[in-house]
Amino acid sequence: MDQLLNQIAQCVENGKIKLNSPYPPAMKGKPGADELTKQALDEGISAQDILTKGLIVGMEKIGIKFKNNEVFVPQVLMSAKAMSTAMEHIKPMFLTGEVKRKGKFIIGTVTGDLHDIGKNLVAMMVEGNGWEVIDLGTDCPPQKFLEAIKEHPESFVGLSALLTTTMMNMEEIVKELKEYNKNLKILIGGAPVNEQFKAKIGADFYSPDPQGAVEYLNRFAN
């Protein structure tokens, strides 16, 4: 069992999606996360173990490599694709309660900003670590976040911005969300923001990379 779960983790870490996937070249002709996840289920390994001991392990490893500048965005996207392909096999178990999520995370790019690569990376890494992600997309005003929070009241919230002109909109969104629920945990990220800006606008956490956000959220995991 452990060997199969380790193989799944390696496929996610290296972005090996399926048997016929050409990437990475070193794993050509070997089964990918897709086939191995199905095999694990067929062999009676629980979906929870596949998630926590296989898929999440792989995503954590690629997240740490990305944080340390050992890999770059394309490799992370391949890992996320491998993860999401494998997840298709175990998603039905979320509905039955066999597999437990760590919690819920609402994320969106703030008002006036249409950039989504950073947001998407964070969403992929957080989902890959066992959280349910509610992705609101780009150009999200405060009301859109509020509606999502009302629908998912136990959620954490992530705000993304790439431009210095739109990062200022974070302040308004944080203010309105905190007025609605002062205990709400709000994470911010994006090229122009930093720890000082986080403190200035009253957000709870800032990270320059997706792995930092994952590690922060995992402190509160169910």
Residue 16 pLDDT grade (very low, low, confident, very high; cuts 50, 70, 90):
very high
The answer to whether residues 111 and 87 belong to one domain is: no
Residues 6+ apart with CB under 8 A from 29: 19
Question: Domain boundary residue among 96, 129, 161?
Answer: 96
The total number of structural domains in the chain stands at: 2
Q: Is the peptide bond before 24 cis (omega within 30 degrees of 0)?
A: yes
Q: Which domain holds residue 129?
A: 104-218
Q: Closest Cα partner for 118 from 150, 160, 84?
A: 160
Residue 95 pLDDT grade (very low, low, confident, very high; cuts 50, 70, 90):
confident
Question: Domain boundary residue among 61, 96, 131?
Answer: 96
pLDDT number for residue 222: 77
The answer to whether residues 28 and 116 belong to one domain is: no
Whole-prediction pTM value? 0.90
The answer to whether residues 162 and 80 belong to one domain is: no
The sign of the CA dihedral 22, 27, 29, 33 is: negative
The answer to whether residues 52 and 8 belong to one domain is: yes
* Mean pLDDT for the stretch of residues 47-59: 95
End-to-end CA distance of the chain: 25
The answer to whether residues 75 and 43 belong to one domain is: yes
What residue has token string 């890494």? 125
The CATH number covering residue 85 comes to 1.10.1240.10
Let me know if 181 is exposed, middle or buried by CB neighbors in 10 A (0-12, 13-18, 19+): middle
Residues 6+ apart with CB under 8 A from 89: 34, 37, 38, 41
Query: pLDDT by residue (tens digit) across 201-213?
Result: 999 999 999 999 9
